Amino acid sequence: MKKVLLLLMVVVCYTGFSQKVKDSVLVKSQNIYRELTISLPPSYSKDLKKTYPLLFLLDGDYLFDPFEGALKYGYYWDDLPEVIIVGLSQDKEREADSTLDETSGLPDGPGEEFFEFIESDLIPFVQKNYRISPFKIIAGHDVTASYLNLFLYKEAPLFNAYISLSPELGLDMETRIPERLAGFKQNIFYYQSAADGDIKKMKERITTLDANIKAVVNPKLNYKYDDFKDASHYSLVLYSIPSALYQFFAPYQPISMTEFYEKIVKLESGYVTYLKNKYDILENALSIKINIRVSDFNAIEAAILKNKAYPELEQLAQLSRKMYPKSMLADYQMALFYENTGDIKNAMRFYQNAFQMQPIGNLTKDMMLEKATELKSQIKK
């Protein structure tokens, strides 16, 4: 009995972080099934209306665990959003899957069938059976890293973001990829990496591709290249994964001390607009919609107070009331506005209002009562 209880505790703890499931998808053209490993995020079974970005892994046999590990770490610190990871088992099929025509550089034979399978079978299967958002990432390593670029060539690409780890580039990709990236009217994310341990000719082509992409002038392009020193063709994967994820999902991260001092405090005005824009970018570019974090409200409040831009506290309170209508946050911010503009009676009134609302973050009922009592004593004097 004790062993059963222990096992149940392990399962509960594990599913509290994520759920790993096995699935398979039919290749309709061949009437065979391909194996998938899927990681569902911690909140998947709790919020049945929530959708998640898709991270689709070629070479899922060995890329799945390092990607999942990096994302679990990011979840823990709320630095990375929850995503659905789908890893495709390729093992013996990866070379055939990646077949390209030598004269056109396009998918050929089994490579063409594989392309059609991903586009017509696999992604529709995932969309039907799992709650994915419009934001989709594809990742691969060497030959599959090269292959994933073929999805860029389509007029309406299947994926929004590409993680190319030490690619063994196909025909003319040094020029084709930059030309394609230059023409995007919607947000497009592209990451690639190389290492000292890569084959020289292969590394030279990646370096050329990097230079050509950096010459692209397109405000919709989010691009990063890493060249890892003292790394091998295989160890670079472990360096690349967090670099790529943190590059793509940078807008998701809470306001840091660096962002606060280097960007926000230096503003002459528009602190609340900055906060709104941060979360608008998250929704519009990454299809991630979340309430503004209380810690981010605190950061903007601190910037307003530091720069004595007190009227913006009213705007901040309006936004707080929209995000957290039952909490004391908005009334507290209005109290701060009146207190700092010399209207003690209204400040006291809003502290009293806040006392009747739900505590949030570091704001407590005792704190509101103390503030109101302190101001009341000032009025009597």
pLDDT of residue 6: 33
Whole-prediction pTM value? Answer: 0.89
3-state DSSP: the chain helix, strand, coil percent, rounded to 5? 55, 15, 30
CA distance 137 to 53: 8
Residues 300, 239 within the same domain: no
Comparing CA positions, the residue from 55, 58, 61, 62 lying closest to residue 82 is: 55
Question: Would you say residue 15 has pLDDT above 80?
Answer: no
Question: Would you say residue 188 has pLDDT above 70?
Answer: yes
- 6 domain residue, yes or no: no
Domain of 135, CATH number, reads 3.40.50.1820
Residues 76, 119 within the same domain: yes
- Burial class of residue 77 in the structure, from the number of CB atoms within 10 Å of its CB (0-12 exposed, 13-18 middle, 19+ buried): exposed
Range of 130's domain?
A: 12-252
The residue out of 199, 233, 252 marking a domain boundary is: 252
pLDDT of residue 133: 97
Q: In the predicted model, what is the mean pLDDT of the chain?
A: 93
Residues 217, 305 within the same domain: no
What is the total count of domains within the chain?
Answer: 2
Question: Would you say residue 40 has pLDDT above 70?
Answer: yes
Residues 16, 108 within the same domain: yes
Question: Which residue is it, tokens 């299947």?
Answer: 158
Question: Would you say residue 11 has pLDDT above 80?
Answer: no
- 7 domain residue, yes or no: no
Question: Would you say residue 148 has pLDDT above 50?
Answer: yes
pLDDT of residue 9: 34
- For residue range 279-314, list pLDDT tens digits in order: 999 999 999 999 999 999 999 999 999 999 999 999
